[in-house]
Chains A and B, each alone.
Chain A
């Protein structure tokens, strides 16, 4: 099966510009997550979609970040306007809850998008 795919792999933009990251989860996976790793720091949770609905967006840093998942398939994460501190690697992950596995459903991660804001 195809894995989680993220586009672009790299993006370099200037402060104040807008960038949109895209994530295509594994087909049939209802759960989609965005994470971010700022250079040298922890990978931090941003938000979680179940199909097209935001289940948990408590990790979104501020209102310059907007995530969508129209139709419950792919997701986009827009940063507008970008700031220097937004630089980092943005990971997307997906999973499918399986009967009886509960909390043990594995996450499948994409390769990430490296965002550099100059």
Chain B
């Protein structure tokens, strides 16, 4: 069945460091891929998405490219800030799945120190 595997955390970085959070998926066909973020005390927010192969999603300096050949959707940011400290979830919606039914990874806790 559909599933998402993302790198184990926690990840601790200094401000302005480069960030990569790996995400790979298993799905039949061509799923849509997402990164959600949960800031402390808040709900999940959509950070970025990609709906087809080679699409690049981007938002707030974060980027992720839908790589069908490696079934990956790694999240990157060139220079993290303290305000980026949060839990990041990779997710997919399978083609033909119930609208809104997402498969999430386990989440990666990111802490950025000044």
Contact = CB atoms under 8 A, between A and B. Distances in A.
A45 B98 CA distance: 11
A31 B100 contact: yes
Contacts of A56: 98, 101
A37 B91 CA distance: 13
Interface in B1-20: 4
A110 B104 CA distance: 16
A42 B41 contact: no
A108 to B, nearest CB: 8
Contact of A112 (B43, B103, B104): B43
Interface stretch (B44-52, B62-70, B72-80): B44-52
B46 A45 contact: no
Nearest to B101: A45
B11 to A, nearest CB: 15
Given A48-B100, A48-B101, A104-B51, A43 B89 contact: yes
Contacts, number: 63
Given A48-B98, A55-B98, A105-B100, A42 B106 contact: yes
Interface residues of A, number: 29
B99 A105 contact: yes
B27 interface: no
Interface stretch (A63-71, A72-80, A90-98): A90-98
Interface of A: 3-4, 31, 33, 35, 37, 40-45, 48, 55-56, 91, 93, 95, 97, 102-107, 109-112
